[in-house]
Amino acid sequence: MPVHGKDLEAPDVRCGSRLRDALEGAVAFASRETIARALDALAAMAEQTGDASRGATLVGAAEGMRRAVGGDVWGIDRVSHDEIAERLHARLGDGPYQRLTCRGAALALDEILEIASGR
């Protein structure tokens, strides 16, 4: 069976691409809770690939989305969400983590999408 371009990508690249596609779908439907879940997943991916600053910013952006609709982290996501936030906090330290999450929470949607895209 021939190997195609997408098959040659690393799993984290394929996963990131799919998560960004899911984020775009959530944006198209204006589903802020789903946008927040996608941002949390992208934050986890950023944490796993060593980009703690981006991860913390995305955690903050997800929190901001949830606050805008009076939502909270879904029960099924709570443990992984908290673990990722704790690892990012530990890696960055209190001051930088707080600044980055606050920055993320204050971003406009177009700014969030720019950061989520990895650019």
Residue 1, in any domain of the structure:
no
**What predicted TM-score, i.e. pTM, was given to this entire model?**
0.80
10-residue mean pLDDT series, the chain (119 residues): 43 59 66 86 91 96 93 88 96 98 95 85
> What pLDDT is recorded for position 33?
84
Q: How far apart are CA 77 and CA 82, in angstroms?
A: 9
Tell me which residue range forms the domain holding 88: 9-116
Residue 44, in any domain of the structure:
yes
Residue 4, in any domain of the structure:
no
Dihedral over Cα of 109, 24, 66, 116: its sign = negative
